[in-house]
């Protein structure tokens, strides 16, 4: 025993630290990667500053082919013949990623930069009565449009969320014979263009004289667009409720309705809220239906039945193509406010669904 | 335990039973809202389309006139219908490769943290309202895009699709297509990455154990496996592109003549945008009916595309399960 | 010497159990056959369940024991494609008769499942009382009921200070006892248990077995188990289920637990209880 012990090799300190030997790459790999990106980039850069060739041309005619060739060479050096196609794939994949990131970054940066020019307390809290496109930015604001957006979206939520949840409950809890049809129609409805939803409300309610162009009319059009989103998301989250809970409740002598209200919906609470938020996010920026069903109004409107009403998207629409710089700045300001609302909704859904998956 | 209590009398549970049946009925009724709305759209817009077709004949769909003051007035939306399809095709050609490469990067190449960040980025992109995308496109995208198009025309003008005789590069189908592509990318990317994520790990392992490169793994394992889902996602994006109104409104100059393929020539068509741009200036009830009829055909077009998309997605799902 | 004492005690216990035997019948299955779609999974099961006894249903996996259990409180019919022949009598009435409300049956015949399934959105107390809420029963003495049932389920001491904590905080064994308390709170006459200990550690298993023995003084218990020792420890009667490959399951042998394990008539039973297959 003792001899065996003494003969055991000394334990090296590095053996006690967890390591990942497979993630180490040979130096040649890093060298190849470095050369593969640095050479074409610097070559295109030099051409850009020394010649008069237009940037997009340089990008597509010079940089991209060069990058592909050098990445191919690098891939060949690092991995052999397999590496050539793989490196081409990686170049296009990274290129597409950068392209998308640049587009999104440009949008966000412009909204923030241009939006802040308009932003001031009066812009948030005042309405646009007596404001013409040429009025300076210190007067008037989007207060009425913010109220309009909240009013319209609020009513649309009240209409569409119960219907959407009912549709999901039918599919996951009642499980009637019509389930495939209900799912099919919800799916088909999600493809209805927003302008068609507006036209539908226009024909059924406004041209027939049932109601005027108002917050309610706009909300019905919004609800049509929200319903499929709410129904589909709610269906997904109700599906996640373990079957055990339903059988457990039924075994206690529960009725179907009590299973739904006391067990299934509470268990899927955060998911149902997520479904609602996703529905709101789907419609909050929709413009076309409101142009047909809510029109515009410079005053703050709180009565959803009586008057035409402005919302943030329609406010942006009205101010975009004006030949006055202040009107355009107002449009950007409204876009910033709308984007903040979207970002809040987005973050909330992320947080909620994150908590949801943690519970599982 | 008081196990000696007699059986509960049935009257109580019968009441519960009746309430339960009422509950089922209400839910079932509510579940058919989507059918009712779809039927409503078909019936009400269709009812408006019938007199328009009766009045104008099939030339409503095949001609390109928009004569509101003529006696009788004449309307034809062929240029708009064709334009909607042309824009959608341009958007597809740009968005599909970008989306697939982006999804491949997210699922197979990027480290987990980068991949999560990109998922959020794509979802945020999908959440941006179209009116904001239109605003951005009008002020930020269009000026450089004019330069790109003139370069395209300068070097590749001999190819018919890149011809431009007017020298005016604003309001072209190409720019509108690019804007639609920007709106399609997040839709197609998120569907594609979901599908690619579901590639069975045992298939990937098998490919890797055979010494497969990433490209061959994609080409022979992941993409064939996800093909149906990806096509379905593309069709969903296509449906969205056909129906998009506002973003196109800001960047496309609506002309009634059919612009067949000169994609960097100013002027094109879009049914959805036509409706919004003409709605504010209609000259009488009949023109409103004409716009409603146009909306009806737009609805039919998107409905068909959407149903095809669902059919494809569902069939592939069934094949796999 | 010691051994004899233990043996004597065991004998006494057996005698006590056997004396319980000639009792009123609480439930019985008469010629029950069960299908899923076109596949027949159970054939002609006839078992009587005497009042205030424990009956163990044993047999290898896939022989239809759990399915049989679920026909006893009409949970079986919730599975699409399910069908059934024969009759299940509870207090002399067929529970599948057309005018019988399944809700009513499930109230009288409670059930505990393999995996503990407390309602995650409710507290411990809320879970115990959930049966009242879900079935629409009215009782006033909620505190007393919570204490009573938790004592019966052997959980009271462990949770009495945190009745308002979420049920998810409990361990698996505690959750299972909580679920038993939940089932008891609606005052059932029969309790069905579908492998209630298969997901639990030995200590929790022992506690639940104690609970079962305690409960059988008041109610009828039918338990599906894979654990032969458990069947011996807790049950008065045993029915042995078996299914040949691609054939419906059937009852090979049934009777007093002491008979089935001590002196089985059928060789297959002998092989099974001695652990030679299954």
Q: How far apart are CA C15 and CA A342, in angstroms?
A: 75
Decide if C81 touches A, using CB distance below 8 A: no
pLDDT reported for residue A77: 75
| Residue among A251, A263, A266 whose CB faces C110 most closely | A251
Run of H or E residues at A331: helix A325-359
| ipTM, two decimals | 0.92
- What residues of chain A lie within 8 A of the CB of B50, using their CB? none
Q: In this predicted model, what pLDDT tens digit does every residue of C96-123 receive, in sequence order?
A: 888 888 888 888 999 999 989 999 888 9
Quote the pLDDT of residue B6: 35
B205 touches chain C (CB under 8 A): no
User: Do the Cβ atoms of A313 and B218 come within 8 Å?
Assistant: no
- Which residue, chain included where needed, has tokens 């579901």? B198
> From the CA of B28, how many Å to the nearest CA of chain C?
18
Chain B residue with the nearest C-alpha to that of A315: B131
**Rounded CA gap, A299 and A297, in Å?**
5
Chain C nearest C-alpha distance from B29 (Å): 22
The 10s digit of each residue's pLDDT in A45-78 is 888 888 877 788 888 888 888 888 888 888 887 7
Partners of B10 on chain C (C-beta within 8 Å) are 101, 104
Closest approach of chain C CAs to the CA of A236, in angstroms?
18
Of residues A103, A167, A287, nearest to B182 (C-beta) = A103
Name the residue among B155, B246, B307 with its Cβ closest to that of A288. Answer: B246
Q: Which of A251, A254, A269 to mutate to test the interface with C (most CBs of C within 10 A)?
A: A251
Looking at residue C135, its pLDDT comes to 80
Say if strands C109-112 and B74-75 run parallel, antiparallel, or are unpaired: unpaired
Chains meeting C at 3+ CB pairs closer than 8 A? A, B
B3: contact with C, CB 8 A cutoff: yes
Q: Does C120 touch chain A (CB under 8 A)?
A: yes
Say yes or no for a CB contact (<8 Å) between C119 and A245.
Answer: yes
CA separation for the pair A263, A273 (Å, rounded): 16
Q: Is the pLDDT of residue A27 over 80?
A: no
CA distance C275 to chain A (A): 31
Mean pLDDT of C251-269: 92
Q: Residue A16: what pLDDT?
A: 66
Distance CA C183, CA A262 (A): 16
When the pLDDT of each residue in chain C is averaged and rounded to a whole number, the result is 88
Residues 6+ away with beta carbon under 8 Å from B70: none
Contact B127 A54 (CB under 8 A): no
- pLDDT tens for B72-92 read 888 999 999 999 999 999 999
Compute the average pLDDT of residues A142-168. Answer: 96
Q: Which residues of B touch C215 (CB under 8 A)?
A: 1
- Rounded alpha-carbon distances, angstroms, from residue C187 to B202, C110, C131: 51, 8, 10
| pLDDT score, position B15 | 59
C103 touches chain B (CB under 8 A): yes
Question: Given this model, what pLDDT does residue A358 score?
Answer: 40
Chain B: residue whose CA lies nearest to A86: B215
Q: Is A119 helix (H, G, I), strand (E, B) or coil?
A: coil
Residue C276 reports pLDDT greater than 90: no
Beta-carbon separation of A267 and C104 below 8 A: no
How close, in Å, is residue A263 to chain C by CA atoms?
7
C-interface mutation test, from B4, B12, B23, most C Cβ less than 10 A away? B12
Contact C218 B7 (CB under 8 A): no
Between C50 and A4, residue with greater pLDDT: C50
Q: Is the pLDDT of residue A337 over 50?
A: yes
Return the percentage of chain C with pLDDT > 90, whole number: 56
Describe the strand order of the beta sheet including C25-36 as a list of residue ranges.
C39-50, C25-36, C82-90, C93-94
Q: What is the DSSP letter of A244?
A: H
List CB contacts (< 8 A) between B5 and chain C.
187
Query: C82 and chain A: CB distance < 8 Å anywhere?
Result: no
Main-chain dihedrals φ then ψ at residue C240, nearest 5 degrees: -105, 120
In degrees, to the nearest 5, what angle opens at C-alpha B87 toward C-alphas B82 and B91?
145
Average pLDDT for chain A = 88
A263 at the C interface (CB within 8 A)? yes
What backbone phi and psi angles, to 5 degrees, belong to B222?
Answer: -70, -50
Degrees to nearest 5, angle at CA B168 with B166 and B172:
110
In chain C, what residues touch B11 (CB-CB under 8 Å)? Answer: none
**Using CB atoms and an 8 Å cut-off, which of residues 172-191 of chain A contact chain C?**
175
- Chain C hits for B24, CB-CB cut-off 8 Å, are none
Q: Does B135 sit within 8 Å of A331, measured CB to CB? A: yes
How many other CB atoms are found less than 10 A from the CB of residue B308? 15
Give pLDDT, residue C15. 56
User: Which residue in C177, A304, C107 sits closest to B5, CA to CA?
Assistant: C107
**First-residue to last-residue Cα distance in chain A:** 50
Residues of A in contact with C135 (CB under 8 A): 252-255, 258
Q: How many CB atoms lie within 10 A of CB C49?
A: 22
CB-based contact (8 Å) between B48 and chain A?
yes
Residue C103 has its nearest CB partner, among B1, B3, B13, at B13
The per-residue pLDDT for A84 is 84
Within 78-117 of B, beta carbons closer than 8 Å to C belong to: none
Q: What is the pLDDT of residues A162-171, one digit of tens each?
A: 999 999 999 9
pLDDT at A60: 82
Q: What whole-number percentage of chain A has pLDDT above 90?
A: 60
User: What integer pLDDT is reported at residue C131 of this predicted model?
Assistant: 87
Nearest CA in chain A to C168: A359
Whether residue A249 and residue C130 make contact (CB cut-off 8 A), yes or no, is yes
Q: Using a CB–CB cutoff of 8 Å, tell me whether C214 touches chain B.
A: no
Contact B1 C101 (CB under 8 A): no
| pTM of the complete model beyond 0.95 | no
- Residue B2: predicted pLDDT: 39
Asked if residue C221 lies in contact with residue C190, where contact means CB atoms within 8 angstroms, the answer is yes
* A95 close to C (CB below 8 A): no
Residues of B within 8 A of A169 (CB-CB) are 27, 31
Chain B nearest CA to C261, separation (Å): 31
Low-confidence ranges of chain B (pLDDT < 70): 1-16, 318-321
Q: Stretch A143-148: mean pLDDT, rounded? A: 95
Closest alpha carbon within chain B to C218: B3
Pairwise CA distance, residues B219 & B206, whole Å: 14
A274-289 average pLDDT score = 94
Domain residue spans in chain A? Answer: 24-116, 143-359
With bands split at pLDDT 50, 70 and 90, how would you rate the model's confidence at A42?
Answer: confident
d(CA C222, CA C201) in angstroms, rounded, equals 21
pLDDT for position B259: 87
Residues A183 and B314 sit within 8 Å (Cβ to Cβ): no
Interface touch A266/C122, C-beta < 8 Å: yes
CB–CB contact A185 B138 (8 Å): no
| CB spacing of C135 vs A248 below 8 angstroms | no
Q: Is the model's pLDDT at C17 over the cut of 60? A: no
Cα–Cα dist B77/B282, whole Å: 16
Q: Do C137 and B8 touch (CB under 8 A)?
A: yes
pLDDT band with cut points at 50, 70 and 90 for residue C16: low
Q: Is the dihedral of CA A200, A204, A207, A211 positive or negative?
A: negative
Give the CATH fold of the A143-359 domain: MetI-like fold (1.10.3720)
Judging contacts by C-beta atoms under 8 Å, the chain A residues touching residue B125 are 100, 103-104
């Amino acid at each position: 025993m003792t001899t065996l012990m003494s003969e055991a090799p000394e334990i090296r300190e590095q053996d006690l630290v967890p390591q990942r030997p497979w993630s180490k790459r040979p130096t040649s790999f890093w060298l190849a990667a470095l050369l593969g990106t640095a050479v074409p980039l610097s070559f295109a850069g030099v051409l850009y500053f020394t010649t008069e060739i237009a940037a997009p041309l340089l990008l597509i005619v010079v940089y991209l082919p060069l990058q592909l060739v050098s990445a191919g060479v690098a891939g060949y050096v690092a991995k052999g013949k397999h590496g050539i196609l793989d490196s081409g794939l990686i170049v296009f994949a990274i290129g597409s990623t950068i392209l998308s990131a640049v587009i999104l970054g440009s949008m966000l940066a412009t909204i923030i930069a241009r939006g802040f020019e308009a932003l001031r307390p009066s812009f948030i809290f005042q309405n646009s009565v007596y404001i013409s496109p040429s009025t300076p930015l210190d007067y008037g604001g989007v207060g009425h449009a913010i109220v309009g957006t909240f009013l319209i979206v609020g009513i649309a939520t009240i209409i569409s969320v119960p219907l959407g949840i009912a549709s999901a409950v039918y599919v996951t809890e009642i499980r009637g014979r019509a389930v495939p049809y209900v799912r099919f129609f919800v799916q088909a409805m999600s493809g209805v263009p927003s302008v068609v939803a507006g036209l539908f409300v226009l024909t059924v309610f406004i041209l027939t004289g049932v109601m005027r162009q108002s917050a309610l009319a706009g909300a019905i059009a919004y609800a049509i667009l929200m319903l499929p989103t709410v129904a589909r998301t709610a269906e997904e989250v109700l599906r996640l409720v373990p079957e055990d809970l339903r059988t457990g409740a039924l075994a206690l002598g529960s009725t179907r309705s009590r299973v739904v209200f006391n067990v299934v919906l509470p268990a899927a609470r955060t998911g149902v809220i997520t479904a609602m938020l996703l529905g709101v996010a789907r419609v909050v920026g929709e413009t076309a239906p409101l142009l047909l069903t809510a029109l515009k109004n410079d005053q703050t409107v709180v009565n959803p039945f009586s008057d035409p009403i402005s919302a943030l998207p329609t406010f942006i629409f009205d101010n975009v193509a004006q030949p006055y710089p202040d009107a355009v700045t107002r449009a950007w300001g409204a876009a910033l406010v709308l984007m903040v609302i979207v970002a809040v909704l987005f973050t909330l859904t992320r947080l909620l669904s994150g908590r949801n998956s943690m519970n599982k | 335990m008081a196990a000696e209590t007699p059986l509960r009398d049935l009257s109580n549970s019968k009441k519960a039973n009746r309430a339960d049946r009422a509950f089922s009925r209400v839910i079932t009724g509510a579940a058919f809202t989507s059918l009712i709305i779809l039927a409503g759209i078909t019936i009400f817009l269709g009812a408006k389309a019938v007199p328009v077709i009766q009045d104008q004949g099939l030339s409503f769909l095949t001609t390109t006139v928009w004569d509101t003051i003529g006696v009788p007035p004449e309307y034809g939306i062929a240029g708009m219908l064709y334009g909607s399809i042309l824009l959608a095709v341009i958007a597809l050609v740009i968005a599909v490769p970008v989306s697939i490469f982006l999804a491949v990067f997210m699922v197979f190449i990027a480290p987990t943290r980068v991949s999560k960040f990109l998922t959020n980025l794509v979802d945020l992109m999908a959440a941006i309202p179209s009116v904001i995308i239109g605003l951005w496109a009008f002020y930020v995208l269009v000026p450089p895009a004019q330069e790109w198009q003139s370069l395209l025309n300068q070097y590749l003008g001999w190819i018919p699709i890149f011809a431009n005789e007017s020298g005016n590069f604003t309001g072209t189908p190409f720019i509108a297509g690019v804007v639609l592509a920007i709106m399609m990318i997040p839709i197609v990317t998120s569907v594609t990455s979901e599908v690619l994520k579901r590639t069975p790990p045992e298939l990937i392992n098998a490919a890797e154990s055979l010494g497969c490169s990433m490209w061959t793994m994609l080409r022979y394992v992941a993409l064939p496996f996800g093909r149906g889902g990806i096509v379905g996602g593309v069709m969903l994006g296509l449906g969205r592109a056909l129906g998009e109104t506002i973003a196109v409104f800001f960047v496309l100059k609506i002309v009634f003549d059919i612009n067949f393929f000169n994609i960097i020539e100013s002027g094109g068509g879009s049914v959805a945008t036509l409706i919004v741009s003409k709605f504010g200036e209609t000259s009488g009830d009949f023109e409103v009916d004409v716009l409603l009829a146009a909306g009806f055909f737009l609805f039919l077009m998107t409905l068909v595309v959407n149903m095809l998309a669902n059919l494809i997605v569902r069939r592939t799902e069934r094949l796999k399960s | 010497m010691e051994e004899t004492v233990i043996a004597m005690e065991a004998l006494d216990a057996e005698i006590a159990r056997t004396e319980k035997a000639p009792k009123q019948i609480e439930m019985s299955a008469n010629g029950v056959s069960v299908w899923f779609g076109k596949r027949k999974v159970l054939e002609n099961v006839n078992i009587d369940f005497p009042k205030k006894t424990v009956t163990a249903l044993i047999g290898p996996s896939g022989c239809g024991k759990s399915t049989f259990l679920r026909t006893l409180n009409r949970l079986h019919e919730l599975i699409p494609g399910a069908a059934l022949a024969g009759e299940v009598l509870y207090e002399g009435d067929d529970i599948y008769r057309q005018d019988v409300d399944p809700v009513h049956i499930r109230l009288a015949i409670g059930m505990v499942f393999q995996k503990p399934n407390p309602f995650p959105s409710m507290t411990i107390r809320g879970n115990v009382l959930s049966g009242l809420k879900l079935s629409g029963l009215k009782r006033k003495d909620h505190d007393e009921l919570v204490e009573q049932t938790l004592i019966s389920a052997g959980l009271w001491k462990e949770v009495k200070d945190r009745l308002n904590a979420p049920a998810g905080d409990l361990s698996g064994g505690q959750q299972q006892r909580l679920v038993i308390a939940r089932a008891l709170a609606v005052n059932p006459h029969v309790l069905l248990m579908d492998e209630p200990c298969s997901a639990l550690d030995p200590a929790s298993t022992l506690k639940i077995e104690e609970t079962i023995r305690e409960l059988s003084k008041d109610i009828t218990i039918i338990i599906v188990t894979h654990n032969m020792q458990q069947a011996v420890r807790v049950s008065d009667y045993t029915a042995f289920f078996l299914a040949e490959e691609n054939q419906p399951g059937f009852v090979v042998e049934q009777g007093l637990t002491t008979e089935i394990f001590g002196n089985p008539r059928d060789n297959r039973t002998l092989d099974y209880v001695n652990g030679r297959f299954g």
